[in-house]
Chain A
Amino acid sequence: MVVKVKIVNTGFARGALLISQQPISFFGGVDPLTGVIVEKNHPLEGVSLCRRILAVPSSKGSTVGSYVIYGLAKRGVAPSGVILGQRDSIISAGAILGGIPAVIADMRRILSSFKNGETIILDAKRGRILRST
């Protein structure tokens, strides 16, 4: 199974897929020191983004979110890769600053091709996602 994607920030990542159905606010919604989602009533409240490959429709909230992603990467608790459902300047800039591979994909394709939690490879050099063997 290979899904084609658009490259936002080049690189490779391998990790467990974490699917967020809801947008994420990195500023205020994620603990900047640990990478755990802390937004009240978010479907992923309490879940850590650390070393996961995060699939998220988009960001929401403050543009300061980019700086938060940078800080997570610096502390080694950021997602190891990001799959976006649409163009998103906050997460894209954060991923670029933090050196995190990032792509834009058709979210329905991702949901129908991979299971939440399974290990995948994000190839943000050639623009594709595949199941890890």
Chain B
Amino acid sequence: MKTRVTKRVFKRILDSIQAGKKRYIKISSAHLSGISYLNIGDAGLEFLEDLSRSGLKFKVRTTINPGCVDYNSNIKCDSEVMEKQERIIRSLKNMGAIESLTCTPYLFDNPLRKNQKTAWAESSAVLYANSIIGASTNKEGSLTALASAILGYTARTGVHLRNGKKPRILFEYNGELKDEVDCGLLGYVMGMKAGAEIPYLRIKKSTGNILCYKQLLAGFGTSGAAPMVWIENLTPGFLRVKKPRRKIVIDRTELEEQKRILSEEALPFQGERRIFITGCPHMSLEEIKSFHETLRSIDRLSVEAWIFTSRNVYSEAFRKGLLTELFEKGVRVFKDSCVMHCSLKKEGAHVITNSVKAAYYLRGSFRLKTTLKSLKEFIKEYGG
């Protein structure tokens, strides 16, 4: 059959994204996107099962994005979705993937060092790897990351080139960043303005908070195409990099405008199902601790709260006794699943979230109502 998938086919995929002379660079790890059945559907499932049967294996450490199901949760989905999601994961495991099922592989499953060359898909992880750790990965697509995982090398383009990480625009933000939502919005506005160009960011009133930058980068990856942001006083090597001459000053009103666009104008009406969702990108242990800490001040919540994390962070948080207290207050904790969870699509719920990325996709792909609120604002409004 002429559709047999071989190594040569994957090499051609890497060639197809390069103009002119084809060059490659060895990588030490890969991270794959396009795992959720809700995203890739039957077409993707069929391809991955064929590929798995072909006998090809991953050549480097390979982790995978979350799916759309947590098999240990009481929140179930259609049996067809659950079965097909399981087959996708099984196919990738057969090829040697680590069953990480998280969009934050840099925390446990696929740790990176400075200057390490990798091929990662999942935009928020790519932005984190380049901008915070100082590693090098392009913003790979599902298929180029898959090709690189199989071949052990990737196309030598973008950040892998000599001047590939050079910043081209200087963004200056003089306003306030009062919470994680502001941080996500700043990233989102930057991404809209930067397009494919790598920016250098100077924040006058720097918060110095890693969680703020995690949201900022996830927001940037949602609206922009560039694989990194140089963050002053944070990105390894920021002192040595030549600052771009082209400068754009971002105003707080631009953040507020995007917040309005990503939030419902009318307030949630009485009796409407409201769910607070956090964990996009997946929560780290520190974030769960701080959520846990904030919840201590209240007895109960008047709306549902769903939080999403990786199985590794879940186990760690469970061992520390953090989750039992969350369960007592009615918080649902999901692992292995993206916030684009299989049950949410049909719920028709109004989602309140502190993640700009989650608001963008839940609104765009799942057609849900969304409102952006920080964790603090949420607790203040719905805690009793």
Q: Which B12-32 residues sit within 8 Å CB-CB of chain A?
A: 12-13, 16-17, 19
A99 part of interface (Cβ distance < 8 Å)? yes
Q: Which A64-102 residues sit within 8 Å CB-CB of chain B?
A: 64, 66-68, 70-71, 73-74, 87, 89, 92-93, 96-99
Determine the chain B residues whose CB is within 8 A of the CB of A93 once the complex forms.
13, 16, 141, 143-144
Whether A89 contacts B16 by the Cβ 8 Å rule is yes
Determine the chain A residues whose CB is within 8 A of the CB of B203 once the complex forms.
none
Whether B16 contacts A8 by the Cβ 8 Å rule is yes
Docked CA distance A27–B41 (Å):
9
Name the prevailing secondary structure of the A interface residues: helix
Determine the chain B residues whose CB is within 8 A of the CB of A96 once the complex forms.
9, 12-13, 16
B227 to chain A, nearest CB (A): 15
Determine the chain B residues whose CB is within 8 A of the CB of A25 once the complex forms.
none
CB-CB nearest in chain A for B146: A93
B78 to chain A, nearest CB (A): 19
B319 part of interface (Cβ distance < 8 Å)? no
Whether B142 contacts A70 by the Cβ 8 Å rule is no
B71 part of interface (Cβ distance < 8 Å)? no
Number of inter-chain CB pairs below 8 Å: 66
Docked CA distance A67–B142 (Å):
11
Given A89-B17, A97-B9, A27-B43 contact (CB < 8 Å): yes
B123 to chain A, nearest CB (A): 12
Determine the chain A residues whose CB is within 8 A of the CB of B12 once the complex forms.
9, 96
Determine the chain B residues whose CB is within 8 A of the CB of A9 once the complex forms.
12, 16
Docked CA distance A67–B143 (Å):
9
A34 part of interface (Cβ distance < 8 Å)? no
Docked CA distance A99–B50 (Å):
15
Determine the chain A residues whose CB is within 8 A of the CB of B9 once the complex forms.
96-97, 99
Determine the chain B residues whose CB is within 8 A of the CB of A67 once the complex forms.
40-41, 43-44, 46-47
Given A32-B42, A73-B3, A92-B16 contact (CB < 8 Å): yes
Determine the chain B residues whose CB is within 8 A of the CB of A48 once the complex forms.
none
Whether B43 contacts A32 by the Cβ 8 Å rule is yes
Q: Which one of A9, A97, A98 has the highest number of Cβ atoms from chain B below 10 Å of its Cβ? A: A97
Q: Which one of A8, A71, A73, A96 has the highest number of Cβ atoms from chain B below 10 Å of its Cβ? A: A96
Docked CA distance A1–B50 (Å):
41
Whether B2 contacts A73 by the Cβ 8 Å rule is yes
B174 part of interface (Cβ distance < 8 Å)? no
A1-43 to B contact mask, C-beta < 8 Å, 1/0:
0000000110000000000000000010000100000000000
Given A74-B3, A89-B16, A97-B47 contact (CB < 8 Å): yes
B87 to chain A, nearest CB (A): 14
B33 to chain A, nearest CB (A): 9
B133 part of interface (Cβ distance < 8 Å)? no
A68 to chain B, nearest CB (A): 5
B40-58 to A contact mask, C-beta < 8 Å, 1/0:
1111101100100000000
List 20 interface pairs A-B (beta carbons < 8 Å), by A numbering: A27-B41, A63-B34, A67-B43, A67-B46, A70-B3, A70-B47, A71-B43, A71-B47, A73-B3, A74-B50, A89-B144, A92-B16, A92-B17, A93-B143, A96-B12, A96-B16, A97-B3, A97-B5, A99-B3, A99-B9
List 14 additional A-B contacts (Cβ < 8 Å) besides A27-B43, A63-B34.
A27-B41, A67-B46, A67-B47, A70-B3, A70-B43, A73-B2, A74-B1, A74-B50, A89-B141, A89-B143, A89-B144, A93-B143, A98-B3, A99-B9
